[in-house]
Amino acid sequence: MPNQIPKSILLLFLTCCNASFAQQSSQCIKLEDVIASQKFKPKTINAIRSMNDGEHYTTLNKNTYIVKYKYSNGLPVDTIFSTKWTNIHKISYISEYQLSDDETKILITTNEESLYRHSFTADYYVYDIKSETCKALSNNGKQQLATFSPKSNKVAFVRDNNLFVCDLVLNAETQITSDGKHNEIINGAPDWVYEEEFSFSRGFEWSPDGSKLAYMRFDERRVKMYSIPLYDSLYPTISTYKYPKAGEENSIVSIHVYSFNSAKNTLMDVGDETDQYIPRIKWTSNSNSLCIIKLNRLQNRVDVLVNNATTGISTVLYSETNKCFISEISDNYINFLKDNKRFVLFSEKDGFMHLYLYSMDGKLINQITSGKFEIDELLAINEASSTIYYTSTESSPLERNVYSIKFDGSRKTKISTQQGTNSTEFSSKFNYYINKWSNANTPTKYTLHIAKCKLIRILEDNAELTAQLNIYNFAKKEFVKIPASEGTELNGYLLKPNNFDSTKQYPLLMYVYGGPQSQNVKNEYSLNDGWFQYLVQQGFIVACVDNRGTAARGEAFKKCTYLQLGKLETDDQITAARYFASQPFIDENRIGIFGWSYGGYMVSLCLTKSTHVFKIGIAVAPVTNWRFYDTVYTERFMRTPRENASGYDDNSPLNFANKLNGKFLLIHGSADDNVHLQNSMMFAENLIQANKQFEMAIYPDKNHGIYGGNTRMHLYKRITDFVLENL
């Protein structure tokens, strides 16, 4: 989907420096520190993996070694792998690692080369912990998605659009498919639009006993090609890939199962319809029963199939329809219990996202959670105690707290203790957990607890960063409620200078994303705040408001923008700007708005559909007509252009170019494979023909994130200068 400001852009957390403080410190932080340095980046604990004994866990430290820790005291007990141990000089860093299920081996990922936003090829190495030997998984070219089998004796991976399996015992490589071809057939990995919009990159799954391998096959031959020119050679080259725009043809997806016993592939029955989506496959607890989740093209009906992996025959386990669209087909959409008699399912059929318990005959046993709040994430299921752990918005849409609840919905218990945003990693035996917490004004803290919530140890509290933020007098984030139409209140936040004087008037810059199911106003320490704090230091107030259509407030709030993306969202942002303008400390003649991707779309609409509300607007990588964007994301909220032409055109900035108000800066990367440069070029042409003056910056060969070398520094210097000069 069109993403928010890429998190890697605004990694640093800055402070405003008021007059009295400036006299005590050497200098205020410069823009170069905001963009180029990681001085204020919080420390993290990476790749936490609980070990089988439930008494130890591992983490990836400094991308060079893997350390084993003891839960009971949080102290290290062993280093189980280090890049310094091997004589293979190609392993200079570890980007990812997997422990085999029997914990005898480690699969090391290194030397990644990006394909799209989430996918990559890499070199994989298998390290044997006992023998202390390390060898390349394959010497026949870089691989994708390498994954251990449950028996720990095989590794499956994708190379050149085909699926392979390496037998670690026999040191033999087996090719499972042979018809893979670039821009035609993909085996075991998703195509571009599935990866981007259904948020997964691995298209194969091992059966629980390791005897079978289920995989997805994408036939994208009918999908139209999109071409991106690259300018880094004497004669520009062309990068081509398959990109299905709204209303156009998608890949035909089929599901197959390879049996290692028979060495045969079996096609799974997914019905006669081919113009549909299969966003997930997942094995049940039975190694001969494969779950296939499918959506119709409009994404308002989901069917959960269970297929016999030997014959391919399917039966419908569960179906659900929605008057708008089905939400949350993620990895945890359905969870099959090990007793092979029940499963836990996400659904918002009562108006809020909740958990339900079903039997394997498809009958509802009971609703597990209920109330006017959303289940955000299912963290873990402890079948031994019939307990589910999850995060929810029960205390506030702005917060995430950790709860436990029994399968029957009884004995709900709040586990997290601090207001803000929490997430938890449980040990394999559920006797310990590691909690990650922050709030809007406090950097991330990691704490280790015994199951009864008792604190064992603070693993990382970012104390040094907290001290730095105090030294630099970091501006505190204030949450506000904005009155909107029909009695609706919108959640927002403000950042004010620390020497704020309520008798003065300040210029205001609003940051917007606003896309469906997104959320920017949360009580958590945000990686997006660095540049905002810099502007606050310069004497600006910064605000952000979550409009209708965003997440965490139930289905009615989230889906009211259905079939008319941009309309209510823009109305809300304009309403919020007028509300801020009515406050005595805001200069109503100096309000600007900035957004990236969907936010860029919102900025473009706000400057063309509002009347003298915004003095300036900065749109980075905006969608300017949903006809230009992909099928999965766009049609989920808009249906097809043929079915909903007015929905596409009535809120397209292209059609309102002649009404542009205020000074406008339009920015795009020329190699953006997500929101194509076409969006900005067509908007620019319409602005030119309407005789509307604007400024424009194109970043050569840069993708949706617009980064690389000095690019980001140049980008933010350009944006900052535009704000300072015009607002």
Domain span at 493: 19-41+466-667
| 60-92 residues labelled b (16+ CB within 10 A) or e (exposed) | bbeeebbbbbebeebeeeeebbebeebeeeebe
pTM listed for this prediction: 0.94
Strands 586-596, 375-382: pairing is unpaired
Contact assessment for residue 452 and residue 460, using Cβ atoms and an 8 Å cutoff: no
Q: In sequence order, what DSSP letters do the residues of 403-444 get, joined into one string?
A: EEEETTS---EE---SSSEEEEEE-TTSSEEEEEEEETTEEE
Residue 22 sits at the vertex; the CA angle it makes with 16 and 26, to the nearest 5 degrees, is 110
Q: So what's the pLDDT on residue 20?
A: 38
181 token code pair: 């071809």
Average pLDDT in the chain: 94
Q: What percent of the chain has pLDDT over 90?
A: 89
- Residue 245 within any structural domain of the chain: no
Helices (H) and strands (E) in the chain, counts: 12, 43
Average pLDDT over residues 346-372: 98
Contact assessment for residue 93 and residue 59, using Cβ atoms and an 8 Å cutoff: no
Number of domains within the chain = 1
Round to whole Å and give the CA distance between 97 and 127: 10
Is residue 710 scored above 90 in pLDDT? Answer: yes
pLDDT band of 24, cuts 50, 70, 90: very low
**What ranges make up the beta strands (E) of 309-374?**
314-321, 334-336, 342-347, 354-359, 364-367
Round to whole Å and give the CA distance between 144 and 122: 6
Q: What is the pLDDT of residues 207-245, one digit of tens each?
A: 999 999 999 999 999 999 999 999 999 999 999 999 999
- Residue 369 within any structural domain of the chain: no
Q: What is the pLDDT of residues 568-602, one digit of tens each?
A: 999 999 999 999 999 999 999 999 999 999 999 99
- Provide φ and ψ at 638, rounded to 5°: -125, -10
Residue 523 sits at the vertex; the CA angle it makes with 519 and 524, to the nearest 5 degrees, is 90
CA dihedral 416, 419, 420, 423 (to 10 degrees): 0
Q: So what's the pLDDT on residue 14?
A: 33
Round to whole Å and give the CA distance between 266 and 249: 26
- Residue 470 within any structural domain of the chain: yes
Comparing 324-328, 432-436, 628-632, the range with the smallest average pLDDT is 324-328
Q: So what's the pLDDT on residue 183?
A: 97
Is residue 9 scored above 50 in pLDDT? Answer: no
What residues contact residue 209 under an 8 Å CB cut-off, 6+ apart? Answer: 150, 151, 287
Q: What is the CATH number of the domain that holds 593?
A: 3.40.50.1820
Other Cβ atoms less than 10 A from the Cβ of 98: the count is 18
Is residue 632 scored above 50 in pLDDT? Answer: yes
Is residue 534 scored above 70 in pLDDT? Answer: yes
Is residue 646 scored above 80 in pLDDT? Answer: yes
pLDDT band of 17, cuts 50, 70, 90: very low
Q: What is the pLDDT of residues 242-273, one digit of tens each?
A: 999 999 999 999 999 999 999 999 999 999 99
* Three-class secondary structure of residue 60 per DSSP: strand
Is residue 369 scored above 80 in pLDDT? Answer: yes
- Residue 411 within any structural domain of the chain: no
Average pLDDT over residues 139-143: 95
Round to whole Å and give the CA distance between 676 and 629: 8
- Residue 389 within any structural domain of the chain: no
Closest CA to 64 of 82, 79, 76: 82
Q: So what's the pLDDT on residue 88?
A: 62
pLDDT band of 4, cuts 50, 70, 90: low
Q: So what's the pLDDT on residue 338?
A: 96
Contact assessment for residue 320 and residue 347, using Cβ atoms and an 8 Å cutoff: yes
Q: What is the pLDDT of residues 543-554, one digit of tens each?
A: 999 999 999 999
First CA to last CA across the chain, in angstroms? Answer: 31
* Three-class secondary structure of residue 519 per DSSP: coil
Is residue 400 scored above 50 in pLDDT? Answer: yes
Round to whole Å and give the CA distance between 396 and 399: 5
- Residue 255 within any structural domain of the chain: no
- Residue 557 within any structural domain of the chain: yes
Round to whole Å and give the CA distance between 552 and 536: 28
- Residue 593 within any structural domain of the chain: yes
